[in-house]
Structure 1
Amino acid sequence: MADSATPSSDSGNDVSAVPQGRIEKVTDGWAVAFDKQFDYPTAHIWDVLTNPRKVEQWLGSVTPGWELGKEYTLDMGNGTASGTVLQLTPRSSLQISWDDELGEESVLEWQVLESDGGALLTFRSRTDTADFLAEGSAGWEGIHDAFAAVAAGGAPDPEPPGQWRSLRDAYSRDFRISPTMGVLEETPEGRTIYFERWYDAPADDLGAALESSSGNLRMGEGAEITAVDEDGFGKLRITQRLEGGTSQDAAALMAAWHLALDSAAVRLEGGTPHPNSHRLRALEALYRSMV
């Protein structure tokens, strides 16, 4: 579930990071959780959470605003989302459905609680799939850091290069959740696409599943594909240097790899994948926003 702002392109995983949030397995799926203590009154934190002018500073432009039972649209600059306000209790709780451009659905809930003379802001994002969990957790951590800056009366700081990827990898490692998205690494020698996916299957089975899933996607030549058994997972790693081409070409190739890796997961679980052109176009648009 890609329930955060689309990550910006970064140049490498050279920023150490310790997750502030956590990923939890719940009865009906997964939850991303953050809890943040503020030395401000609950009324102030509620205003930052719900005032459209404040929301625009830390999340994006919401139209028409959070109104109970009403649909909304959110423009985050590098991505959009939409949904319905499911619960709105003044100075207490906000719950919304969240549908992103990939068709991934989740339910988000913030609660504002009196705590230690200030306010405790809790956040939960619930989804039924582990897809994009590590990426979403890294994205929401940056968003809640921006929230804290706005609550303090300032402006959010620009995200340091590499921070999103470093956080994504930290969430994957600490909570044993496979990364979902590929990254495009920029080096003096050129550009390289890199994917890593973790499967509950032995490494010996991964290559055949990927080959069956990628044959018709015109993936190009020169990709290095390795499969290893590591930390209780079969881990599939793909590295492909790009020789020329446009950013649109890179985005199309990354979308194709992404879809092939999704299809491989279905095959490894004994199912038959049914990739569709709509999802491929949506993935291409997502990667285009990165590259």
Structure 2
Amino acid sequence: MAESTLPSTSRESRPVPEGRIERTAGGWVLAFDKQLDYPAAHIWDVLTNPRKVEQWLGPVHPDWELGKEYTLEKGGGGVSGTVLQLNPRSALQISWDDELGEESVLDWQVLESDGGCLLKFRAHSDTPDFLAEGSAGWQGIMGAFAAVAAGNPPPEQEPGDWQALRDAYSREFKISPTMGTVVADQDGTSFEFERWYNAPAQDVGAAVEASSGNLGIGEEAVTEVRDDGGLAKLQVRQRVAGGTTEDTAALMAAWHLALDSAAVRLTGETPHPNSHRLRALEALYRTAI
């Protein structure tokens, strides 16, 4: 999953996905193709020069080097991986291991096109988890890359842009949102989750009730499941009454794990939540909040 500064979006307009999500034989791929009116040498420098990479992606240590491991500071946390391919001025491929222990493969290609370059980016993953969130994040990163290539600072994020863009990716490509979000309104502060399951609504309700009960949560939450075009769309909303950021993050992490476990139950298998993933989710939500 990736989060970054997004291009600003006016209140009157809805964010438009610039990437596309595709199902493949081996999983899923997020794809962006961006035309840039600069020579290949310049785009390659922005893609691989650590001083430039820091501006659009984050501080990377050490430099990209074929076959070598790297670490990257990102959003208060970090990712790591290995440089799998490095062809000067043409191709970069890396593995991307996030804080939750999930791995994806990222690759960029720089192709001469129309007097400039076509920058092709692909993110490959085994599951659609965090795919809507990742798509919104990488769209912002691609926008930041274009700004740095032009010699400008990355654009500032407007409040609500990231979530609105995430929801736009979910709608267009029929991919469930994954992360919960904090909502502040006149009634106070709440958090909410939306998840989509390929199962009857009644079965989803029972699976969520069992999973949340096993984790000792759910009594104060309002849940609703509705059928929508063959999918059961679940909404969970719970008030946050004076808790600290740590308390809220812990409860959101528990709900996240319960909703993951519900998906496992719906396949007929028995979920086995682990404490390591729970702690990683807590850290993720602390950063998000």
Distance 1:28 1:161 in 2: 36
Instruction: Quote the residue 1:56 is aligned against.
Output: 54
The residue aligned with 1:191 is: 189
Structure-2 separation of matches of 1:7 and 1:214: 33
Partner of 2:167: 169
Report the CA distance between 1:211 and its aligned residue. Answer: 1.3
Give 1:7 shift: 8.7
The alpha-carbon distance between structure 1 residues 289 and 208, as it changes in their structure 2 partners (threshold 3 A), is same
Deviation of residue 220 (structure 1)? Answer: 5.3
Q: Which has the higher contact order (CA 8 A, sep 6+)?
A: 1
- 1:6 and 1:47, CA in 2 relative to 1: closer, same or farther beyond 3 A? closer
* Amino acid of the structure 2 residue aligned with 1:184: V
Query: 1:6·1:79 contact (CA, 8 Å) conserved in 2?
Result: no
Corresponding residue for residue 79 of structure 2: 81
- Measured against aligned partners, the alpha-carbon deviations of 1:195-214 in whole angstroms (never above 9, x if no partner) come to 01000101011111011111
How many pairs does the alignment contain? Answer: 285
> Sequence identity, in percent?
68
Unaligned 5+ segments in structure 1 are none
Aligned-partner Cα distance in 2 for 1:136–1:121: 18
Moved over 6 A (4+): none
TM-score, with structure 2 as normaliser? 0.96
1:143 is aligned to: 141
2:37 is aligned to 39
Q: Distance in 2 between matches of 1:185 and 1:19?
A: 23
Q: Give a deviation string over 1:122-155, Cα, whole Å, max 9, x none.
A: 0000011010000000000011111111000010
Amino acid across the alignment from 1:209: A
SS at match of 1:215: helix
- CA distance in 1: counterparts of 2:218 and 2:13, whole angstroms: 31
Amino acid at match of 1:285: A
Checking the alignment, whether the CA contact within 8 Å between 1:15 and 1:166 is kept in structure 2 is no
1:131 is aligned to: 129
C-alpha contact (below 8 Å) 1:202/1:234 kept by paired residues: yes
CA contact (8 A) 1:15 1:162 kept: no
Q: How does 1:100-249 map to 2 (within 5 A)?
A: 100-219=98-217, 221-249=219-247
Q: Distance in 2 between matches of 1:194 and 1:86?
A: 38
Q: Describe the shift of the 1:103–1:15 C-alpha distance in structure 2 as closer, same or farther (beyond 3 A).
A: farther
Q: Is the 8 A contact 1:37 1:120 kept in 2?
A: yes
**Could you tell me which of 61, 64, 67 is aligned with 1:66?**
64
CA RMSD after TM alignment: 1.5
Pick aligned residue for 1:96 from 94, 97, 101: 94
Aligned residue number for residue 253 of structure 2: 255
Q: Is the 2:3–2:133 Cα contact (8 Å) retained in structure 1?
A: no
Q: What is the CA–CA distance in structure 1 between the aligned matches of 2:17 and 2:193, rounded to whole Å?
A: 21
Provide the C-alpha distance between the structure 1 equivalents of 2:257 and 2:232, rounded to a whole number of angstroms. 18
Deviations 1:221-250 (A, max 9, x none): 321100100122011110111111111111
* Correspondences of 1:274-289 after superposition (within 5 Å): 274-289=272-287
Cα distance, 1:88 vs structure 2? 0.1
Alpha-carbon separation, structure 1, partners of 2:234 and 2:140: 28
Check conservation: 2:191, 2:240, Cα contact below 8 A: yes
SS of alignment partner, residue 214 of structure 2: coil
**AA at the equivalent of 1:284:** E
**How far is the alpha carbon of 1:189 from its aligned partner?**
2.9
Q: Is the alpha carbon distance of 1:208 and 1:83 closer, same or farther for their aligned partners in structure 2, counting shifts above 3 Å? A: same
Could you tell me whether the CA contact under 8 Å between 2:136 and 2:162 is conserved in 1? yes
Task: Check conservation: 1:201, 1:233, Cα contact below 8 A.
Answer: yes
**Alpha carbons of 1:107 and 1:282: their partners in 2 closer, same or farther (altered >3 Å)?**
same
